[in-house]
Amino acid sequence: MATSCSFLLCFMLCFLHISLSISEILFLPLTHSLSNTHFTSPHHLLKSTSTRSANRFQNHHRRLQNHHHHQVSLPLSPGSDYTLSFTLGSHPPQRVSLYLDTGSDLVWFPCQPFECILCEGKAENTSTSALPPKLSSTARTVHCKSSACSSAHSNLPTSNLCAIANCPLESIETSDCRSFTCPPFYYAYGDGSLIARLYRDSVTLPLATPSLVLHNFTFGCAHTALAEPVGVAGFGRGVLSLPAQLASFSPQLGNQFSYCLVSHSFDSDRVRRPSPLILGRSDEKEKRVNNNDYPQFVYTPMLDNPKHPYFYCVGLDGISIGKRKIPAPPFLKMVDREGSGGLVVDSGTTFTMLPTSLYNSVVTEFDNRVGRIYERAKEIEDNTGLGPCYYYDSVVNVPSLILHFVGNESSIVLPRKNYFYEFLDGGDGVRKKRKVGCMMLMNGGDEAELSGGPGATLGNYQQQGFEVVYDLEKGRVGFARRKCASLWESLNQG
C-alpha cells in the first residue's frame, strides 16, 4: 500500500548463485536514503510526506468506486520510502530499484524507451544507471491464456483477453490463444498512472548472502507513465506479488517475511545504519533472537477483504493515550462484504491515517494533557499538514500511546519518537529559533467517506523500531520491539 516518510532500502549486491533448500532463510540489509537536496526545510519534508500519505489513503477508496482492482497510490515523496533492488537476467546485469510496497500486488518498473509525463520534481529512479533498463533477449511476453494476464487485467475472462489482444475468432473458440501475447494493461495511482505489458524473465535478488535467481519471474514493463517515474515491488497478497512468486519457488521463503526499520526521525546522519529484511524464518533464527532476550511477537489475525484481497488488513480495538483507552469504532475491528473497514498495515504509507471520529478523540485527549502546558504552534500545523504541534523550551512531556489490536493481549506501546516528532523552527532571520514537537498521526476522513475501503492505515513511521512479520501461512501479522541495527548484527553472526 501505497506514502510516506523516509527510507530507501537497497539490497547488497552479491553474485554467488547457489541452490536453496526448503529450510533456507535469507537476510537482506536495508539502507535508508534521505537527501537534503530533496527538501529545503522540515516544513517542506513533512508537508510533502503528509500530503502523499493523505492522497494514498484516500485513493484506496476510489478504487472500489471505479471498479478497478489495481488503483493504488504509490509512495513517491523524495526521501520518504523504502526501495529494494534486483538485477535483470541480461549481460551485463542491469540493476533496478523499486519501492517496497505491502499495499499492492504487482512488480513493475520503467523500461527503455521510457517517457514520464509530469515527472518533474518527482523522486528519481535510484538505480546505478541513469536510464531505465532494457529488456534482455531472454525476456518473454506473457500469453493471453495465462492466469497472470487475467490478474493484471482485473481477472478478466481469458476469452475477453484474447479479444483485446486481437485474437481471431476461431482461436478464441478453440481456446488456442497461447501464441497471442497479453495486451497492455492500465494501472492507476493517487496522482498518476501507467501502461505496461507483462513479461517473464530471470531476475536476481542481490542478497548479502546468498544471491537468489528466480526463473520465469513475472513483472510489468512500462514505457509510458504519468507522474510515476519509479517502479514498485508489490509485497501484497496477490498472485503476482513478490512473496507469492517466491512461494512458488520455495514456500519457506514466500509464506513469511518481515522487516525491522531502524528509527531515523528524518535525521540524515542516522539513515545509513542497516535495517534487516527477512525472507522466510527458521528455528535457528528464533533461537538466536530468544537467546538475546528479545521480546516475543504480539500477533493479530489478518482479515480477508473481498474487494481488496491484496491488503494486509487487521482489526484495531482502540488507542490509549496515557492511561485512558479510546475505543475504536466498530468498523475498524472487522471488514464487511463490501470491503469496508479494518486497518491496513502498509510499508508504503508514511503516517498512520485514522478515521475522523477516532482521530479527533485521540487529538482531544492528547491536547488536554499537553496543550494546557505548552503553546500550540498553529503556523507549524498549517505548514506541515500535521498536528497538534507545540512550542517548548526544554524537554516536553507527552503521554504514552498504545495501539490495541483485535486478539488476546495484542497491544503495542509506541516509542515516543514514533508518534511525536521534534525539530527546530526558525533561525532564518525572520522568526526566532524555537523547538517544536508535532503528533505524527493524520485524519483520514469520515466513516461515510471511507466506505468501500480500509478504515485506517498503519504507516511505516509508526512501524520503526519494530520487527513486523507477515505470516501468510497462519494468516496473522506480528509486532515485536527490536533494536533493528542490533538485530541485523545478531542475525548474521555465524
Looking up residue 41, the CATH number of its domain turns out to be 2.40.70.10
Residue 271 maps to a domain? no
Burial level of 283, CB count in 10 A (0-12/13-18/19+)?
A: exposed
Q: Which residues of the chain have pLDDT under 70?
A: 1-24, 28-81, 121-130, 189-191, 207-210, 264-274, 282-293, 427-429, 493-494
- Domain check: are 305 and 246 in the same one? no
Q: What is the pLDDT of residue 68?
A: 34
- Domain of residue 437: give its range: 291-493
Residue 328 maps to a domain? yes
Q: Is 105 a catalytic residue?
A: no
- Domain check: are 211 and 333 in the same one? no
Residue 223 maps to a domain? yes
Q: Is 101 a catalytic residue?
A: yes
- Domain check: are 468 and 378 in the same one? yes
Domain C-terminal end among 189, 221, 250: 250
Which one is catalytic: 81, 101, 105, 191?
101
Residue appearing with cell numbers 516518510: 5
Q: What is the pLDDT of residue 355?
A: 96
- Domain check: are 236 and 373 in the same one? no
- Domain check: are 107 and 230 in the same one? yes
Dig out the grid coordinates for 418 from the structure: 514514533
- Domain check: are 295 and 244 in the same one? no
Residue 160 maps to a domain? yes
Domain C-terminal end among 197, 224, 250: 250
- Domain check: are 459 and 399 in the same one? yes
- Domain check: are 109 and 242 in the same one? yes
Q: Give the H/E segment covering residue 96.
A: strand 94-101
Q: Euclidean distance between the first and final Cα of the chain, in Å?
A: 35
- Domain check: are 223 and 335 in the same one? no
Q: What is the pLDDT of residue 312?
A: 97
Residue 329 DSSP symbol: P
Domain C-terminal end among 250, 275, 310: 250
- Domain check: are 306 and 216 in the same one? no
Residue 286 maps to a domain? no
Residue 2 maps to a domain? no
Residue 3 maps to a domain? no
Q: What is the pLDDT of residue 100?
A: 82
Q: Classify strands 476-481 and 298-301 as parallel, antiparallel or unpaired.
A: antiparallel
Q: Where are the beta strands (DSSP E) in 135-289?
A: 140-141, 185-188, 193-205, 212-226, 232-234, 256-260, 275-279
What backbone phi and psi angles, to 5 degrees, belong to 267?
A: -100, 110
- For the chain, what is the mean pLDDT? 80
Which one is catalytic: 191, 317, 346, 425?
346
Number of domains in the chain: 2
Residue 259 maps to a domain? no
Q: What is the pLDDT of residue 268?
A: 56
| Closest to 231 measured CA to CA, from 127, 302, 322, 371 | 127
- Domain check: are 304 and 178 in the same one? no
Distance from C-alpha of 79 to C-alpha of 33, rounded to nearest angstrom: 6
- Domain check: are 308 and 208 in the same one? no
The structure's pTM equals: 0.85
